[in-house]
């Protein structure tokens, strides 16, 4: 079995995850400031060492996009929690606007265990208002696995405990997010402008499409840009980087609020499973507005697989069935 090694570096604010000495991912956080407004996994690499996540803003690579600086690696947050935006917060926000944004602050590493075939990391964080009041306590358990020669997987189980009454107002910007490498995007056919809930506009430019071959598809049989705003038990992004066939897939557990999740997946490289975006993503046909009273908790469980080969629907359906039948937190 491959050795999955987790090495915590508290001073460097990261936990490095390797498989037989090769980089898989890093859990990274910041203890103050807005440059990194939530803990993230960055980069995420295939079994052959190829990053499937965008490098910008911390590790920029030639030819990639430089929009949406809050899209970093893999993260979990939401765009409207008691009226605060935890999704769009970054160093790009003007000082006079920061009162509209929340920050997720890493508090502690509770478990950090290496192992044969898999390793486990458990952390605690707090979801903070701009004045430092804690709305939620987050306990997240990551299981990092090496599954054969071509497959890596991350299972993320996040428990959010309300420290006061909390409302997650249905919003398009949430909850489990990835920003993928340029080669895994859809070819960009035109310049597009996106506006967030606070009225901030971001332009995503048309770019050279050489070697850009990504394509989304879901368990519901929907493909391409049509995936956005639809529901499914899984979504897979297929493509290739420098001759390596790649499939990056996200699975939504049946126990999650809002299952099957809506997909907030954009061709420019944002790949998000939004369990809490019902009203925003269904054009008002579906409403959730998840509410937690003080002391109540909600649990979100997702699985991410990274394959150095293409994936067919039968394999992805079998993976979902295995994930769905696995024990709940």
Query: DSSP of 256-294, one letter per residue?
Result: STTSSPEEEE-TTSEEEEETT-HHHHTTTS----EEE-T
Among candidate residues 83, 84, 133, the one with its CA nearest the CA of residue 105: 133
What's the CATH code, domain 3-324? 2.70.98
pLDDT value at residue 194: 58
Query: DSSP of 106-146, one letter per residue?
Result: EEEEEEEE-EESEEEEEEEEEEE-TTS-EEEEEEEEEEEEE
Strand, coil or helix: 242: coil
Residue pair 42/53 in contact by the 8 Å Cβ criterion: yes
Look at phi and psi of residue 199 and say left if phi exceeds 0, alpha if psi is from -120 to 50, else beta.
Answer: left
How far apart are the C-alpha atoms of 225 and 265, rounded to whole Å?
A: 8
CB atoms inside a 10 Å sphere around CB 245: 16
Query: What value, to the nearest 5°, has the Cα angle with vertex 106 and ends 44 and 276?
Result: 70
CB atoms inside a 10 Å sphere around CB 181: 23
Which tokens is 238 given? 């297929």
Q: Please tell me the number of Cα atoms within 13 Å of 172 on its side-chain side.
A: 17
Strand, coil or helix: 251: strand
Beta bridge partners of 159: 139, 299
Question: Averaged in consecutive runs of 10 residues, what is the pLDDT profile of the chain (329 residues)?
Answer: 96 96 96 79 98 93 89 98 96 90 97 98 98 97 95 98 98 97 89 69 79 96 97 98 97 98 96 98 96 98 98 98 82
Among candidate residues 276, 279, 290, 274, the one with its CA nearest the CA of residue 235: 274
Instruction: Find all residues with CB under 8 Å of 273, minimum gap 6, and list them.
Output: 175, 176, 235, 250, 252, 261, 262, 263, 264, 302
Residue pair 153/306 in contact by the 8 Å Cβ criterion: yes
pLDDT value at residue 190: 75
Residue pair 89/109 in contact by the 8 Å Cβ criterion: no
**Helix count (H) and strand count (E) of the chain?**
2, 21
pTM given for the model = 0.94
């Amino acid at each position: 079995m491959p050795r999955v090694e987790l090495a915590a570096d508290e001073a460097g604010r990261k936990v490095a995850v390797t498989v037989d000495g090769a980089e898989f991912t890093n859990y990274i956080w910041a203890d103050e400031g807005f440059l990194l407004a939530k803990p993230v996994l960055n980069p995420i690499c295939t079994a052959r060492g190829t990053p499937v996540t965008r490098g910008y803003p911390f590790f920029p690579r030639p030819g990639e996009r430089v929009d949406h600086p809050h899209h970093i690696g893999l993260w979990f947050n939401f765009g409207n929690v008691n009226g605060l935006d935890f999704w769009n917060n970054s160093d790009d926000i003007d000082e006079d606007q920061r009162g509209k944004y929340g920050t997720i602050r890493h508090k502690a590493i509770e478990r950090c265990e290496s192992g044969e075939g898999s390793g486990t990391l458990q952390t605690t964080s707090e979801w903070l208002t701009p004045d430092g009041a804690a709305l939620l306590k987050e306990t997240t358990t990551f299981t990092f696995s090496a599954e054969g020669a071509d497959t890596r997987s991350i299972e993320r189980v996040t428990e959010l405990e309300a420290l006061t009454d909390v409302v997650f107002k249905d919003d398009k910007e949430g909850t489990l997010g990835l920003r993928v490498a340029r080669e895994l995007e859809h070819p960009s056919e035109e310049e597009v402008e996106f506006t967030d809930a606070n009225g901030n506009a971001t332009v995503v430019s048309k770019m050279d499409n050489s070697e850009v071959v990504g394509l989304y598809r879901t368990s519901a049989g929907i493909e391409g840009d049509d995936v956005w705003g639809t529901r499914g038990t899984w979504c897979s992004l297929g493509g290739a980087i420098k001759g390596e066939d790649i499939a990056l897939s996200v699975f939504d557990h049946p126990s999650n609020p809002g299952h099957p999740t809506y997909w907030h997946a954009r061709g420019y490289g944002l790949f998000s499973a939004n369990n809490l975006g019902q009203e925003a993503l269904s054009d008002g046909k579906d409403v959730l507005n998840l509410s937690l009273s003080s002391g109540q908790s909600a649990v979100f469980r997702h699985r991410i697989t990274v394959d150095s080969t293409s994936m067919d629907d039968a394999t992805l359906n079998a993976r979902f069935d295995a994930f769905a039948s696995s024990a709940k937190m």
